[in-house]
Amino acid sequence: MDGQTWSPLTNSLRFLTSKQTGEINLDILPNDDITGSTRNYIGINQNINLLSNWRVTIDGEYVSDSEYFEDLATRINSTSRTHLFRTIHMQGFSENWFMDIGMDNFQILDQSISPDDKPHRILPYVDFSGQWMGEKSNLSYGLDLNLAHFDSNVNVAGTRFHMMPNLSKTFNLNGLQVKPEIKFDITSYNLDESAMMLWRKTDLIEQSQSIALIYRRYLKRIGKVKVIYKH
């Protein structure tokens, strides 16, 4: 029956233990009439509990060729997919902080996607957010931090570092609660040479906008305040 497209052999494995849950899907079509080769799809989703407050998540898909869904999938939402994501990340948390460490990658299916619309590979990234309160001082302090290396064959590649420490204190004045807050927004990039000049021009604009935004929020929150600042 030459020229006929057969349905792939579908296998699904689900597992559940005290430490992990997961599902693996595998579709295989040996000696496909269209390509003359074996075509396959692999999808995996797995959650592993390392400790009570640490876990690892693996989520990703793979197909043997970019026309796989176009030729073999029966659902519209599958045939219209432009790329497949693959991610692995480890998360930890406590009462005061949360951390996410991971890597993101992808497989492009639609070759007509313009270079500007293609996602970046992020290998790796670190996200951290924490907030603490002094027991006696009523002083709150925290930190938001992001470090990511993004890579692309056609777009800008490099490393981005962002850190925003904050400090605040609540004062109760005869029933009136006042909470002044200070935040520092620190961002830096280490880009490839072709993008350095573009980033330098854009960065000055972004820094000015960030400073103005912080002061507007500050004025709106606590009312009239005398700010001694010159930029």
User: Each residue's pLDDT tens digit in the chain (231 positions)?
Assistant: 444 556 678 899 999 999 999 999 999 988 888 888 899 999 999 999 998 899 999 999 999 998 888 887 665 456 678 889 999 999 999 999 999 999 999 998 888 877 777 777 888 999 999 999 988 888 999 999 999 998 876 677 889 999 999 999 988 888 788 889 899 999 998 887 655 544 444 444 444 344 434 444 444 444 443 333 333
Tell me, yes or no, whether 108 and 136 share the same domain. yes
For residues 29 and 8, the answer to whether their CB atoms sit within 8 Å is yes
Last residue of a domain, one of 50, 81, 112: 81
Last residue of a domain, one of 81, 116, 137: 81
Tell me, yes or no, whether 8 and 75 share the same domain. yes
Sign of CA dihedral 110, 114, 119, 121: positive
Report pLDDT for 194.
Answer: 54
Phi/psi of residue 93, nearest 5 degrees: -155, 160
Last residue of a domain, one of 81, 105, 139: 81
Tell me, yes or no, whether 76 and 109 share the same domain. no
Tell me, yes or no, whether 138 and 185 share the same domain. yes
Kindly give, in sequence order, each residue whose CB lies less than 8 Å from that of residue 53, ignoring residues fewer than 6 positions away: 92, 93, 94
Tell me, yes or no, whether 74 and 102 share the same domain. no
Report pLDDT for 104.
Answer: 93
Tell me, yes or no, whether 109 and 205 share the same domain. yes
Tell me, yes or no, whether 75 and 109 share the same domain. no
Tell me, yes or no, whether 70 and 101 share the same domain. no
Report pLDDT for 162.
Answer: 95
Tell me, yes or no, whether 68 and 97 share the same domain. no
Report pLDDT for 225.
Answer: 38
Tell me, yes or no, whether 221 and 144 share the same domain. yes
Tell me, yes or no, whether 62 and 98 share the same domain. no
For residues 138 and 170, the answer to whether their CB atoms sit within 8 Å is yes
Tokens of 185: 């927004």
Q: How many domains does the chain have?
A: 2
User: Does the pTM of the predicted model rise above 0.85?
Assistant: no
Tell me, yes or no, whether 119 and 227 share the same domain. yes
Q: Please give the residue range of the domain that contains residue 147.
A: 90-231
